[in-house]
Structure 1
Amino acid sequence: MARESEIIRKYNTYLRLEKSLSPHTLDAYGRDLDKLLSFAAAEKKKVTEITYEDLQQFVARLHDVGIHARSQARIISGVKSFYNFLLLEDYLKVDPTELLEMPKIGVKLPEVLTLNEVNALLDSIDLSLPEGQRNRAMLEVLYSCGLRVSELTSLRYSDVYFEEGFIKVEGKGSKQRLVPISETAIREIRNYLFDRHTINVKKGHEDILFLSRRGTALSRIMVFHVIKVQAEAAGIHKNVSPHTFRHSFATHLLEGGANLRAIQEMLGHEKITTTEIYTHIDREFLRREILEHHPRNRRGG
């Protein structure tokens, strides 16, 4: 039997060359394997001697130290990948992970604001403050276009096509997409530009649309802070973040009858499955609509 260090070296080569995993994913697999190796060492066993019962104990310990179910599932997936490799390379004859179950992960539906709550939050902004109109324009764009917070803070003035009604957004992996922007959001941006022109803009930030009072791009933390303050001012007790606006944008589109593929394009999701979480929300909405409005469900019918 080859030494453990030799097996692990071959496994890393297998992941990199045959599975073509990214460096980030390779790091994650390595950390998961380290947890298994530490466990095996504590049990005074070689990793090739670990049994199904041992692995049950391993998973129980992950749970006991408070590792979240989703993270547990990822670690187990990494362990299964390792033992699958050991089988392929004939280091083992039996896979001890074959019966190992993943922890149950419920679909966590994202927090969503109603249209009234979105309006209340925007209306709560004090426009007499120096940053008031900026905040209103910023949150209107966040909701109107369903942007990620990083896309909002890096949005450039030159990427707003006022006449055409589009903005050009640079998303994950520097992928660009065109997103329609509402007339309301365009109007709020135009109003904000009067204030923006009075700011002494720092070098390198001349084309950034939403600026801090210091003349630099806003930080993500600042956007979070603005939203928290306004949610409180509007009397909204939900846990509201920039991502809540993105979820609300997608949900309201779906409720309005928009095509899931179109929403995927707007959000900049690589896979339609990422967008499909919104169908869970939409099904609940449809169920509620049917129960409330279907004549067979009305009281006294």
Structure 2
Amino acid sequence: MDWNRALKDYQNYLRLERGLSENSIINYSLDVKKLVGWLNINAIQISPISITEETLQQFIYEIAKKVNPRSQSRLISGLKGFFNYLIFEDYRTTNPLDLIEAPNLGRKLPDTLAIEEIDAIIKAIDLGSNLGERNRAIVETLYACGLRVSELTNLKISDLYFEEGFIKVTGKGDKERLVPIGTNTIKFIEIYRKEIRIHHKIDPKAKDTLFLNQHGRQLTRAMIFTIVKRLAEKANIQKNISPHTFRHSFATHLLENGADLRAIQQMLGHESITTTEIYTHIDRKHLTEVINRFHPRKG
């Protein structure tokens, strides 16, 4: 088995068996391609079935000189997944990366925005422009529903169940979930949909897509990043802001106000509660206040 064949089969496995998104498949593929590129540059002719731990150690050592520890850890994790797949398919009996340890990164806590900062970003939106109402609806939806950027760009009009107070979100692996949506956010979406979007010349492929660009097509992930970055700059917020920041803020503010961690997990679409538990580490001061206020033996 050569590397091209192994990679193609791995991609099909990720798509069909794991149900991963195309973005995730691309990222996992890049990890393998980096290894193959390094083997080619160094004229090392070895197959994915026969490659050894020693060769991979040398590769990781060379990569470590060029990338930060987080990228190095991500690469090791991605390659472990590839070789685990080869074991799963009975091409190999061992994973050559099992004894190669990733750098100890500690736990990276997500950036969050204060409520006042979110208000400032929304106030920075020029509602007099053609795109103002759309951008307000986008920011409000990101924060009010805790969506991933891909979930926002793929949101359909047919996914809106406003009478019931929910939207249907298609998350990672095409898994669907229902997320509550507040009356204010519904109001801003309806203003955009009924007063702005209706006047677009809409591409037939985007007929059911909620948020559109100036050409009546689905917005890209990159465009959402650009919108958010520009608004943060305009609001004079110095933090490194991305669409995901609103998702982190959504979860953090819910937790701080007493929401159940399991409920937050369901709304975020996390497969494991351990992913959601990172938010319990964000504001230790708040958690201390909760203990002091509610624990019967606080004194």
Q: Normalised by the size of structure 1, how large is the TM-score?
A: 0.73
Deviation at 1:241, TM superposition (A): 0.9
Cα shift readout 1:129-150 (whole Å, capped 9, x = no counterpart): 1111111111101110011111
Deviation at 1:60, TM superposition (A): 3.0
1:86-235 alignment runs, 5 A limit: 100-192=100-192, 193-235=194-236
Aligned CA distance change for structure 1 residues 200 and 76 (closer, same or farther; 3 Å): closer
Deviation at 1:178, TM superposition (A): 0.8
Measure, in 1, the Cα distance between the counterparts of 2:81 and 2:114: 40
Stretch moving more, 274-283 or 122-131: 274-283
Task: Indicate the residue corresponding to 1:70 in structure 2.
Answer: 73
Paired residue secondary structure (2:111): coil
Stretch moving more, 216-225 or 129-138: 216-225
Contact 1:254–1:282, Cα closer than 8 Å, also in 2: no
Aligned CA distance change for structure 1 residues 38 and 103 (closer, same or farther; 3 Å): farther
Measure, in 2, the Cα distance between the counterparts of 1:35 and 1:189: 47
Aligned CA distance change for structure 1 residues 131 and 48 (closer, same or farther; 3 Å): closer
Deviation at 1:109, TM superposition (A): 1.3
Measure, in 1, the Cα distance between the counterparts of 2:113 and 2:129: 25
Paired residue secondary structure (2:113): coil
Cα shift readout 1:131-170 (whole Å, capped 9, x = no counterpart): 1111111110111001111111121222212222111112
Deviation at 1:59, TM superposition (A): 4.0
Deviation at 1:276, TM superposition (A): 1.9
Task: Indicate the residue corresponding to 2:297 in structure 1.
Answer: none
Task: Indicate the residue corresponding to 1:296 in structure 2.
Answer: none
Cα shift readout 1:56-113 (whole Å, capped 9, x = no counterpart): 6554323123263323542674699699x99958xxxxx9978654321221211111
Task: Indicate the residue corresponding to 1:267 in structure 2.
Answer: 268
Gaps of 5+ in 2: 294-299
Deviation at 1:237, TM superposition (A): 0.9
Q: Normalised by the size of structure 2, how large is the TM-score?
A: 0.73
1:278-293 alignment runs, 5 A limit: 278-283=279-284, 285-287=286-288, 289=289
AA at the equivalent of 1:253: L
Measure, in 1, the Cα distance between the counterparts of 2:65 and 2:104: 16
Measure, in 1, the Cα distance between the counterparts of 2:180 and 2:219: 23
Measure, in 2, the Cα distance between the counterparts of 1:58 and 1:217: 40
Measure, in 2, the Cα distance between the counterparts of 1:124 and 1:172: 31
Deviation at 1:206, TM superposition (A): 2.1
Aligned CA distance change for structure 1 residues 200 and 279 (closer, same or farther; 3 Å): same
Q: Compute the RMSD of aligned alpha carbons.
A: 4.2
AA at the equivalent of 2:272: K
Aligned CA distance change for structure 1 residues 55 and 134 (closer, same or farther; 3 Å): closer
Paired residue secondary structure (2:216): coil
Contact 2:224–2:243, Cα closer than 8 Å, also in 1: yes
Paired residue secondary structure (1:276): helix
Cα shift readout 1:245-291 (whole Å, capped 9, x = no counterpart): 1111111111111111111111112222222221221435425x589
Measure, in 2, the Cα distance between the counterparts of 1:211 and 1:231: 21
Number of residue equivalences: 275
Q: Percent identity?
A: 45
